Amino acid sequence: MYAPERQAAIATRVGREARVSVAELAAEHGVTTETVRRDLAALERAGAVRRVHGGAVSAASLALPETRVEERDHVAGAAKDRIAAAALGQLAPGTASLALDAGTTTGRLAALLATTPGALAPAGHGAALVVVTHAVPLAARLVGVPGVELQLVGGRVRTATQAAVGVEAVRALGDLRVDVAVLGTNALSPDGLTTPDPEEAAVKRALVACARRVVVLADAGKAGREDLHRFARLEEVDVLVTDTHPADARTASGRALAAALAAADVDVVVAPAAARAVA
C-alpha cells in the first residue's frame, strides 16, 4: 500500500473512531510506529487529524472556539439542569466550605443553593456555608442568601466568562483550603481537563489545589474533546457528574475515556434522565 492510500485509510479510521493509537495503526498496516507518526504528521498538516500523546484524534473532536457565557448557557440546558441537581446530591450535608468555578453548569448549582437554603448547612448552631467563587454571575446569585457566607475572589474580569482571573485571583485561592471545589470544563479526555484560555486554566488549577475533594460537572458534549490548556489530570478529580456515561457513547473515544476515568479512580455519577410526561 502506498503512503497516500495508507494515510487515507488512517484518516477514515480516526474519523470513525475519534481516537486511535499509533501502535494500533502500525499493527493494522504492517508498518513501523515511526512510519505511522510520519503519516499522522502529514494528516495533521492537512487538517484531517490532530496528533496527541500516543496517537491521534479526529479534527471533529477538537473543542470549539470559546464562546461567551450567555451563549453557552443555552447549550444542553436540560442536561446541565440535571447535572446540577445530581451534583447537589454529591455535596454532603455538613460541608463547611465550597469553592465554585465559573460556568453555566456551576451557575445552575449556585441557583439551587440559593433556592434551597440550608441544603448544606454546616454542623454547629448558626454556622454558615462558606462559598468561595471568582465568578461574578454566581456571586450575584448567592449574595444575601440566608445561611451562605460569600467570599468573592477578585482580579481582572474576563468578558467571555464573567470571571476574575490573573495573579490576584490565583494568589487568593492559593491561601485557601476548602472542603469541596466544584469545577466546570470546556473539554474532557483521557489526558485530562482542558480550557482555551491560559488565565482561566491557572485559576482552575488553583481551585483544584485548594480543595480536599474535587467535583467536576461536564455534559456529554465535553467528552472526548481537548483544548489548549490543561488544568487538571484525571487523577486529581474525585467525582465526575455528567448526563451520559462515556462508555455508553459506544465509540472508541468513549471507551478510552471510560477506561481512563476508571484507572484514575474517578467516581462517575450519571444524572438521572428527566421524567417523561404522562399523557
Q: Alpha carbon of 88 to those of 54, 81, 109, 162: distances in Å?
A: 37, 11, 7, 23
Calculate what percentage of the chain has a pLDDT beyond 90: 51
Least confident of 74-78, 183-187, 229-233: 74-78
In the chain, CATH 3.40.50.1360 covers 69-270
Sign of the four-CA dihedral 126, 131, 132, 134: negative
Q: Torsion-angle region of residue 175: left (phi > 0), alpha (psi -120 to 50) or beta?
A: alpha
Q: What pLDDT, on a 0 to 100 scale, did the predictor assign at position 278?
A: 40
Q: Domain spanning 69-270: which CATH class is it, in words?
A: alpha beta
DSSP-assigned letter for residue 142: H
**Distance in angstroms (rounded) separating the CA atoms of residues 209 and 203:** 10
On average, the pLDDT of the chain sits at 86
**Distance in angstroms (rounded) separating the CA atoms of residues 211 and 194:** 18
- Phi, psi for residue 108 in degrees, rounded to 5: -70, -35
Across the chain, which distance is largest between two alpha carbons, in Å? 75
Answer for the pair 209, 170: CB distance below 8 angstroms, yes or no: no
**CATH number listed for the domain at residues 3-61:** 1.10.10
Calculate what percentage of the chain has a pLDDT beyond 70: 87
In the chain, CATH 1.10.10 covers 3-61
